[in-house]
Structures are given as C-alpha cells and as structure tokens.
Structure 1
Amino acid sequence: MLRKSISALVLSFFLSSSFAFAADKVDLNTATSEELQMLSGVGPATADAIIQYRDAHGEFKTVEELTNVKGIGHKKLQQLSEELIVSKK
C-alpha cells in the first residue's frame, strides 16, 4: 500500500512539473512586450520588433519564423527557442 502511494506521489510530481515547465514558456502569438522582455537577451526594441512583425504578418506559425524579425538571427533563435511556444488556433 505504501509503495503504491509513493509511486502515485512520484508520478504526480513529474506530471505537475511538465505542466509547470510548459506554462513557463512564452507564446509568440499572445505575449506582451513586457513578457517578451523577460526572455534572455530580449530588450524593448526586440520585443517591439516581434510585436510589429506579428501585427503586420499575422500569427507566428512556428518558432523558427522568428528569424524573419529584424535583429533576430539563427544564433538568437537557438538561445530563445527553448523558452518559446507558438499557440495554434
């Protein structure tokens, strides 16, 4: 009985951790300038460029599309990609 309880507790911890990890990611399609600036290496100018691109071209379809934003190259994308998601409608 104790073994089942411990197993259930461990499983619940891992499941809640994975959801918390996903919740910590920033959605390129809904993020505000302030939320984008919380990302490593993203300041006000880059955050505004991301939002301007999104407003002009519509929602991001992939995280990789971020390289279309002026000032964001492949190196910057590699730094940011683990922190980003793209919501789908």
Structure 2
Amino acid sequence: MLNKLLLALGALIASIGFAFASVEVNQADQAALDGIKGIGPTTSKAILDARKKGGNFKDWNDLQTRVKGVGEKSSDKFSQAGLTVNGKAKAGAEKPAAAKTPAVKTEKTKGAVTDKTIDVKKPAKT
C-alpha cells in the first residue's frame, strides 16, 4: 500500500516537472507524454503503440498520420505545450500571445477624475 502511494506521488511529481520542459515524442515514456497538456492516457498509449509498431516518428506529419486522434489542431496544441518531434517544435504552432491589458478610460464625474476599466470587446453601458 505504501509502495503504491509513493509510486503515485513520484509519478505526479515527475509529470509536474514535464509540464514545464520539452518532451521528445521519440524518447518519452507514458508518464512524460501524459505530462503534456492535452495528452491523456489514451493518446499517450496510441503514440507509444505507433512508435513501437513503426519506429520513431520522422516529423510532425508522420506523427499525425500514424496516430489516430492527432490532427492539425491537437498537434499545434501539443507543440505549444512542449512536445517535440526529433527535437523540433511544429512549424507554425507558436505559443499564444499574452492577453492584452484592457483599455483604461479616464472620466470626469462631478468635478472628480476617476479611472474606469472598460472591456474593449464589450461596449460600455451608459
């Protein structure tokens, strides 16, 4: 019982570490693949099975072709989360830009000046 608990704790700690590092699809084990955001046990098993059956993946297109459920959008997300194929991130799958700061408008109210944050996407109610 204690051994299982320690093993589970170790796997959790390892997966947290993998979330912040790049993971090479041709060398990763199931725990490392599960550490990539968007890859769960089913997808990681499918990746490992395809790698075992057909050898290492040559490129991102090879990964998408051989692993059912991994398409353009999901491979973009996996690449953004740190997955690499032969040490390379997927071309065109840049990390999302940081959220823009909402516009700040200064209004005069009865002689006083106040700062009011206005969401640029939604019109202000008057």
Percent of counterpart pairs with the same letter? 35
TM-score of the two chains, using structure 1 as the length reference: 0.66
Count of equivalent residues: 66
Structure 1 residue identity aligned to 2:43: T
Q: Aligned equivalents of 1:31 and 1:61: distance in 2? A: 15
Task: Extract unaligned runs of 5+ from structure 1.
Answer: 1-22
Higher strand share: 2
Instruction: Give the C-alpha shift of residue 48 in structure 1.
Output: 0.2
Higher helix share: 1
Q: Which has the higher contact order (CA 8 A, sep 6+)?
A: 1
Task: Extract unaligned runs of 5+ from structure 2.
Answer: 1-19, 88-126
Q: Aligned equivalents of 2:61 and 2:21: distance in 1? A: 19
Structure 2 residue identity aligned to 1:31: A
Partner of 1:64: 61
Which protein has the larger Cα radius of gyration, Structure 1 or Structure 2? 2
Q: Is the Cα contact below 8 Å between 2:39 and 2:78 reproduced in 1?
A: no
Backbone CA RMSD of aligned residues: 1.8
